[in-house]
Homo-oligomer: A and B are copies of this chain.
């Protein structure tokens, strides 16, 4: 994508995005979509050539393969297929954001990584040195946070770059606020 300003001079915003816990892949979570819309509407605005968005999706590895218990895994290749399918799902999630950026006319790049999301996001932020990291936030209460964990709080505390955490609006919150 062409930009009117040299790459080194654009503002690079990293967005950590994940899949919907309600609809599953390839749908983006409510808070990821909210964080993206906030970035476009409030920060990028009409200045599409001044920004580049870096989308990062982190997949937690299957610890016990629970999600795939219906399948039969007899050979090492079967597990490779599983891993490949997961990565493909992650790519389809990113496709949503990359397509939106293309429509809007803002430059972007996207990655799928595997690992503990909060740690991988901070590690990638350290490596890529974005000017700002934007993370969605379900806006959970203290009790729900203990159960669900919050990636955003960890990133606000540990990422080496400026971080902004975008809460879901009350109108977007599902009946069970842990859902996203």
What range describes how many residues of A lie at the interface? 10 to 19
Name the residue in A45, A46, A47 with the highest tally of chain B Cβ atoms < 10 Å from its Cβ: A45
Q: Which of A38, A46, A164, A167 has the most CB of B within 10 A?
A: A164
Nearest Cβ on chain B to A180's Cβ, whole angstroms: 18
Question: Which residues of B are found within 8 Å of A165, using beta-carbon distances?
Answer: 156, 162-163
Q: Across the interface, which residues of B come within 8 angstroms of A45, CB to CB?
A: 11, 47, 50
Interface centre among A43, A131, A163 (most CB of B within 10 A): A43
Task: List 23 A-B pairs, Cβ < 8 Å.
Answer: A11-B42, A11-B43, A11-B45, A38-B131, A38-B162, A42-B131, A42-B132, A43-B43, A43-B132, A45-B47, A45-B50, A46-B47, A46-B50, A47-B47, A47-B50, A132-B164, A156-B156, A156-B165, A162-B164, A162-B165, A162-B166, A162-B167, A163-B165
Give Cα A124 to B164, complex, Å. Answer: 19
A33 to chain B, nearest CB (A): 15
- A166 partner residues in chain B, CB cutoff 8 A: 162
Within the complex, the shortest CB–CB distance from A97 to chain B, in Å, comes to 19
CB distance from A53 to the nearest CB of B (A): 14
Within 8 A of B (CB), among A155-179: 156, 162-167
Cα–Cα distance between A166 and B162 once the two chains are bound (Å): 6
Q: With a CB–CB cut-off of 8 A, which chain B residues contact A163?
A: 164-165
Residues in B neighbouring A38, C-beta threshold 8 A? 131, 162
Q: Which residues of B contact A132 (CB under 8 A)?
A: 42-43, 164
Excluding A38-B162, A45-B50, A162-B166, 19 further A-B contacts by CB distance (< 8 Å) are A11-B42, A11-B43, A11-B45, A38-B131, A42-B132, A43-B132, A45-B47, A46-B47, A46-B50, A47-B47, A47-B50, A132-B164, A156-B156, A156-B165, A162-B164, A162-B165, A162-B167, A163-B164, A163-B165
